[in-house]
Chains A and B, each alone.
Chain A
Amino acid sequence: MDILITGTVLGGTYALIALGLTLQYGVARIMNLANGENLVLACFCAFWLYSTASINPVLGIVLIAPGAFVLNWLIYDFAMKPLVNRAKNRGQLEVDSILATFGLMFIMQGVMLLVFGGGYYSYNFLSEPVQILGENYGLNRIVALIAAAVIALGLYVFLYRTRYGTAIRAVSVNPSSASLVAINVERASAFAFALGGALTAAAGALLSTFYTFNSSMGVIFTMKALIIVIMGGVGDVRGAVLAALLLGLTETAVASLIDPGLTLAATYTLFILVLLFRPQGIFGRQEA
């Protein structure tokens, strides 16, 4: 039982990390390697808001997410659009965007190093125990799990129940057909990229309440997000959430029952299994 709850909480954290990238990669077709840096930047912003203005990090999302939305829109407009326009096919865009975001990663890392230095940061927010079925869990992690559920649900409703969400899904399935039915693909892509950035930033603000972070650890988050996105099926919110939960449960089970040293091995075993038997991801569509 303990394993189930701990695993679910961890899965919720992973879902938060990966949802933004799902949108960015699935719709805008930008494999954003600076995803982790985006997240760490939000950690710093939340830390800064909390320590200087004592703004509650959960409320801080109200400031941080729109900020990230604007920032990511600008990044898309200035740095990614030329690549999109130039790319002859999807493969080329992927290669170009990986290279470009790789550079972006270093820029963001460098700026954070300049401003915050290389030291470790952490602060205490809601790090008090809550009892669930006789065991103690960190309140901040439970809050993050709830937020992950809310965000995932909101995203699902937006994508599957609204007109613009449907348009965005259309772009993710086939950009050129989408433009035939009067969808502004460029705008939809920019919007998806910016929304993905905002989600990642919201995740960062929540994660900062219980993770110890420094300027150069974004890559850990990028890796986790990549595995989840690919496992879940590119661009599929349900798949990403499921993959994240699966990963959280597996890691916790392996760490508790076998050995914490094997969590990475378990992660990648799961990854390989999914790639072997469902290369398109759990919810992914077969390529036509």
Chain B
Amino acid sequence: MERRTLMKTFAATLLAGAVLAGPAVAEGTIKIGASAPKTGPLAGGSAVTYWPAIQLWVHDVNERGGIDVGGTKMKVELIEYDDRTSNEEAIKNIQRLATVDKVDFIIPPYGTGINLATAPLIAKYGYPHIAVTAVTDGVDEFADRWPNSFWTLGTSTAFATTLVDLLKGMRDAGQINDKVAVVNVADAFGIELANAGKPALKDAGFDIVYETSYPLQQQDFAPIISSAKNANPDTFIAFSYPGDTFGLTKQAAIADLPVKAYYVGVATAFPAFAAANGPAANGVLGAGGVNAASDKYQDFMKRQIEVTGSAPDFWASPVQYASLEVLEQAITSAGTLDKAAVIDAIKNGTFDTIMGEWKFDHNVIRKYWTVGQWQDGVFHGVASTGVGGEVAPIVKSGWN
């Protein structure tokens, strides 16, 4: 009998505590969910670009005391899920974040395919979807279809055509001839870029002397590099994914591929690229780029290393961070956690980010970096769609 009373008292105290504490805690925090690969083929990329930028932003916001929502500061609580680089898993995660965790906002997944796969569901639950690591030609179509979605990193066509423009400039300056080798990975990003890039090269008067594609997760590039070498081009272009970006470059250095312009795709902008290739990285062109010399980027890099222990890339990392700054500023200007109001604020607002001033034009950021180049240990942006601050490209001179 006594024990039962004791239990009851205990339970009642607990309950009272929970009731009293519950709303107080909920009032003070904004729950934000994130789902992206921590395992699977894309985990290597998201571990550089996605997770550390988010970690840094959450750290920054909470250090400031939280996000200002209608005058009250609310701290951010982050819920992380691994989608194992699988669309199905990502969809389950979004569902869980929306219905079980009941998060206030969602940071969209990593990768073009998974962003598109989860977009309908994120739209259904009415969350703003600020996509970062998604490069596709469909941005306008998708922005129409899902008015809650925002696109920040650009289109495949722009990535390919600005590269061709850059090469055209180098050719007209007499730095390279018009022979080009083009290879691509047989997956979404590689195919889209190759489809846009090859016609653009031909239109610009380039002569494609070697072209081929290779499967995802290829590890051996000796045949490709030696075939390209035999075709004797001045320019080598690979629309590649992280693993192949590293593999191709190592093989090119070993075979001493005698090109004057060498371009590889995703992951060229990763700090690990310079670390892995040493002096051979100098002069390598790649997808992405930032205004690396700017104070804002330098400061971002320094703080991300301090807080998370991992260096950001020179492309999408700062954009990922900027997308979260947009979310934060939109919440503050809406003055509420109401999702529709925040979407409106994102649509119409002007945002001060580490990538400069951002304003969405029909839900799309139109000025972005497309090509960068390693010059003396820093990956400088050398081409963009009008961001400003581009550095002049240099001619690749050897691999040592």
Question: Residues of A with Cβ closer than 8 Å to B?
Answer: 2-3, 6, 9-10, 109, 113, 117-124, 127-129, 135-138, 210-212, 214-217, 220, 251-252, 255-256, 259-261, 263-264
- Chain B positions 327-358 with a Cβ under 8 Å from a chain A Cβ: none
Q: How far is the CA of A129 from the CA of B222 in the complex (A)?
A: 12
Q: Are A120 and B44 in contact (CB under 8 A)?
A: yes
* Chain A: minimal CB distance from B236 (Å): 15
B17 at the interface (CB under 8 A from A): no
Task: Given A260-B218, A260-B223, A260-B224, answer yes or no on A123-B276 (Cβ-Cβ < 8 Å).
Answer: yes
B196 at the interface (CB under 8 A from A): no
Q: Are B214 and A136 in contact (CB under 8 A)?
A: no
Q: Which residue of chain A has the shortest Cβ distance to B214 in the bound complex?
A: A260
0/1 string, B14-27, CB within 8 A of A gives 1: 00000000000000
Interface SS of chain B: helix, strand, loop or mixed?
A: helix
Q: Are A122 and B212 in contact (CB under 8 A)?
A: no
Q: Are B219 and A2 in contact (CB under 8 A)?
A: no
Q: Are B223 and A252 in contact (CB under 8 A)?
A: yes
B386 at the interface (CB under 8 A from A): no
Write out the residue numbers on chain A whose beta carbons fall within 8 Å of the beta carbon of B253: 127
Write out the residue numbers on chain A whose beta carbons fall within 8 Å of the beta carbon of B255: 129, 135-136
Q: How far is the CA of A22 from the CA of B23 in the complex (A)?
A: 61
Write out the residue numbers on chain B whose beta carbons fall within 8 Å of the beta carbon of A119: 44, 47-48, 272, 310
* Chain B: minimal CB distance from A150 (Å): 22
Q: How far is the CA of A127 from the CA of B254 in the complex (A)?
A: 7
Q: Are A210 and B250 in contact (CB under 8 A)?
A: yes
Q: Are B213 and A129 in contact (CB under 8 A)?
A: no
15 pairs from A and B in contact (CB 8 Å cutoff): A10-B222, A113-B38, A118-B38, A119-B44, A119-B310, A124-B278, A136-B254, A210-B250, A212-B247, A215-B39, A216-B40, A216-B43, A217-B41, A217-B243, A261-B212
* Chain B: minimal CB distance from A51 (Å): 10
B37 at the interface (CB under 8 A from A): yes
Q: How far is the CA of A213 from the CA of B247 in the complex (A)?
A: 10
B46 at the interface (CB under 8 A from A): yes
Q: How far is the CA of A2 from the CA of B277 in the complex (A)?
A: 25
B44 partner, pick from A2, A214, A256, A263, beta carbons under 8 A: A214
Q: Are B246 and A255 in contact (CB under 8 A)?
A: no
Q: How far is the CA of A220 from the CA of B226 in the complex (A)?
A: 24
Write out the residue numbers on chain A whose beta carbons fall within 8 Å of the beta carbon of B217: 217, 220
Q: How far is the CA of A255 from the CA of B272 in the complex (A)?
A: 28
Task: Given A118-B37, A118-B39, answer yes or no on A137-B254 (Cβ-Cβ < 8 Å).
Answer: yes
B39 partner, pick from A10, A109, A210, beta carbons under 8 A: A109
Q: Are A264 and B215 in contact (CB under 8 A)?
A: yes
B393 at the interface (CB under 8 A from A): no
Q: Are A118 and B243 in contact (CB under 8 A)?
A: no
Q: Are B40 and A6 in contact (CB under 8 A)?
A: no
Write out the residue numbers on chain B whose beta carbons fall within 8 Å of the beta carbon of A10: 220, 222
* Chain B: minimal CB distance from A129 (Å): 5
B256 at the interface (CB under 8 A from A): yes
0/1 string, B41-80, CB within 8 A of A gives 1: 1011011100000000000000000000000000000000
Q: How far is the CA of A122 from the CA of B44 in the complex (A)?
A: 12
Q: Are B226 and A6 in contact (CB under 8 A)?
A: yes
B227 at the interface (CB under 8 A from A): yes
Write out the residue numbers on chain B whose beta carbons fall within 8 Å of the beta carbon of A263: 214-215, 218
